Amino acid sequence: MLSGRWNINPFASKTIALVLLSAVVLLSACGGDAPPTPTPAPAPTSTSLPAPTATTIVSDKTTPQTAKVCAPGETPTFISDVVLAKDAQGANYEPVGITEAFEPSQATLHAIVTLVNAPKNLQLGATWHLIQASGYKPQKIDATTIEVADGGSRNVDFTLKGTQSAWPVGSYCVEIYANDKLALAKSFTVIAGESNAGSNVIQDIVLAESVKPDTFDPINPTDTFKKNAEAIHAVVRILDAPANTQLSAKWFPPSQEPLDFALPPVDGTRWLDFRLTPPPDGFPAGEYKVEIYVNQKLADTKTFTVQ
């Protein structure tokens, strides 16, 4: 394969803030690396769908992705391959660490497109989507288009960068476009890394009426709540949790199906806030419980009453 001479061409990145209670994950993307003096087309405006900040008794109905998102497409003959990788090296951006399952701590995700005898002035684009992750709504993360002015045979490296914290565990995909037509889509996942954390990382679990906005320390601890309460908080104190520790909560309202909520992987020592919010007419009266899990293993259970 011919190795074209390429220069890095940074594109303006867009940041989507996805709020998950005590964890803030910023997703942003940058454009693919382009040939000399490229003429990038402007990236389409990305409309984010805000993630819920709590688990609600009557769960919001998330609008599903349309059938066109991440469809197979029609691959032109000059696109010989698309791989997902952890890195790229060399002048031709050879993929390193090819995978379809990334860890949450992966700083940059690569979608590397291999072109063979591509036409000149090819408009090549990549659109990244979040398909499913606990606590998030499906949404487009970012889209970038570049012009491959010389065409020919070479690799093009599209990258998606996380600015801080960790990628939400879940399923994603990247769509590759050629001259504004969908060529193909590649699905991938972000999976929780290995962690040896057990229930011993939980120092305390407190049911409370509210939390401090900056530290999530519990305010007004109680196990009896009013029907018109704005929220019910299960606040978890973790101590020296190792990297990639996964915490989740399962709420059991009376006479309803359980409600699950998971945070992105966490570590260290801090308070974490799992919040239950009411339907418009308030919390149903009765007995409730919430189960707290560490790495998908039950760590503790708290019961409380709404009256």
Domains of the chain plus CATH, in order, are 14-190 (2.60.40.10), 199-306 (2.60.40.10)
The residue-averaged pLDDT of 227-234 equals 95
pLDDT reading at 144 higher than 80 = yes
The residue-averaged pLDDT of 24-34 equals 35
Q: 152, 36 in Cβ contact below 8 A?
A: no
- Residue position matching structure tokens 């320390």: 217
pLDDT reading at 195 higher than 80 = no
Lowest average pLDDT, out of 10-19, 200-209, 213-222, goes to 10-19
Q: 216 in helix, strand or coil? A: coil
pLDDT per residue as tens digits for the range 83-110: 999 999 999 999 999 998 898 888 999 9
Local confidence band at 196 (pLDDT 50, 70, 90 cut-offs): low
Q: Is 135 exposed, middle or buried (0-12, 13-18, 19+ CB in 10 A)?
A: buried
pLDDT reading at 239 higher than 60 = yes
- Per DSSP, 253 falls in state -
The residue-averaged pLDDT of 8-23 equals 28
The residue-averaged pLDDT of 225-239 equals 95
Q: What is the pTM of this model?
A: 0.51
- Residue position matching structure tokens 């003096």: 37
pLDDT value of residue 157 = 97
In the sheet that 247-252 helps form, which strands lie side by side, from edge to edge?
224-225, 297-306, 286-294, 247-252, 259-262
pLDDT value of residue 257 = 86
pLDDT reading at 63 higher than 50 = no
